[in-house]
Amino acid sequence: MRRSLTISVLVHAGILAAAFVVLPNPEEFKVEDQESIPVDIVSIEDLRKTQATVKTPEKPAEKVAPKPVDVVKQVKPAPEVAPEIKTAAKEASAPPEPKPEPKKEEPKKEEPKPAPKPEDLAELIKKTDEPEPEKKKEEPKKAEVKPEKPVEKPPEKKPEKKLKPKKEFNPDDIAAFLNKTDDKRTAPLKQQAETGTPKQGEYNLSGIDEGVAATLRDKLRQALERCWDVPPGAREAAIVVKVHFFLNPDGTVSGMPNVVNSSSDPLFTVTAQSAVSAVMSCQAYDFLPQDKYDMWREITFTFNPNLMFPS
């Protein structure tokens, strides 16, 4: 038995040692680095302000667009490029073919970029336009290359045409949302935003900031959604109840809420009661900012089961 035991111990020790050699650290899962997308939590008021300021400077953005066209005109006579191509053209008639081809690809690759910066656009168009003077100088010198002209010219014009409509999309709109995080790209836009800041969002007649109001309304809606027990059938009947109530500064309801609208639907009374009880049971609304009490002192809230509970 002793012999067997020693054999067993030896075999175990051997296997254990082999396990440490053969089974090293398990390989890591290769996680490809994901591009991190910085996300800012923006309150509705801020969003509205940015939207409001961005909408106005559409005109300066359009001014940027025509610039490249001017650049194209300026570049056309460019004399520097000419001697290079002359020498290249002298060498062989074939080389010109491959040269323009890669350049054709360049604009294609850059097309899908969602919001090209105006400066980039100018550069891009410069690049695409560079071949133009080349060919104009080649054409007179070589009649043999003529068949190439129709092939090369259309793609040169296309990128310009395709890029222009993109500006109508107004990429600045998207950039405006990003301008909080990225400073380089939207640097010019920021200036526009600064110039637009005096507006500070749209104020309605009573002088209440719409953005802040929207945020308050959103908070209130969230609270009331939780408190409201929708009576069965109200959603199908599309009953809308408008409740008018006053709030005390501490967030409690002052007096009784009263239903503003009316309906002949038999379910309406039940729904109205449930809405009123929701307003009462949701007290106190102490999440509303104290310093803006004048904005939420008096509230008319619309209970719409179909809008409040998107299903």
Strand partners, 254: 246
Judged by CB under 8 A, does residue 18 bind another protein?
no
Cβ proximity to another protein: between 40 and 91 the closer is: 40
Angle at which helices 266-281 and 210-227 pack, to 10 degrees? 100
Structure tokens at 105: 């690809």
How far is the C-alpha of 42 from the C-alpha of 21, rounded, in Å? 54
Decide whether 8 or 197 has the Cβ nearer to another protein.
Answer: 8
For another protein, the closer CB: 31 or 205: 31
Q: Is 4 in the site for another protein (CB under 8 A)?
A: yes
Going by C-beta distance under 8 Å and a sequence separation of 6 or more, which residues neighbour residue 214? 44, 45, 48
- Angle, CA 25 vertex, CA 19 and CA 29 arms, to 5°: 135
User: For the window 222-241, what string marks contact with another protein as x by the rule CB under 8 A?
Assistant: --------------------
Nearer to another protein, 22 or 92 (CB): 22
Annotate each residue in 34-53 with x if it binds another protein (CB under 8 A) or - if it does not, as one string: x-x-----------------
Tell me how far apart the terminal alpha carbons of the chain are, to the nearest angstrom.
75
Q: Which residues pair with 300 in a beta bridge?
A: 244
Give yes or no for residue 25 binding another protein (CB under 8 A).
yes
Count of residues in contact with another protein, rule CB under 8 A = 20
DSSP state of 301: E
C-alpha to C-alpha distances, 129 to 97, 147, 166, nearest whole angstrom: 17, 20, 18
Among 20, 41, 59, 79, binds another protein (CB under 8 A): 20
Closest CA to 154 of 108, 200, 210: 108
Q: Least distance (Å) from another protein to the CB of residue 114?
A: 24
Interacting residue with another protein among 8, 191, 195, 222 (CB under 8 A): 8
Sites of contact with another protein (CB under 8 A): 1, 3-5, 7-9, 11-12, 19-20, 23-26, 28, 31, 33-34, 36
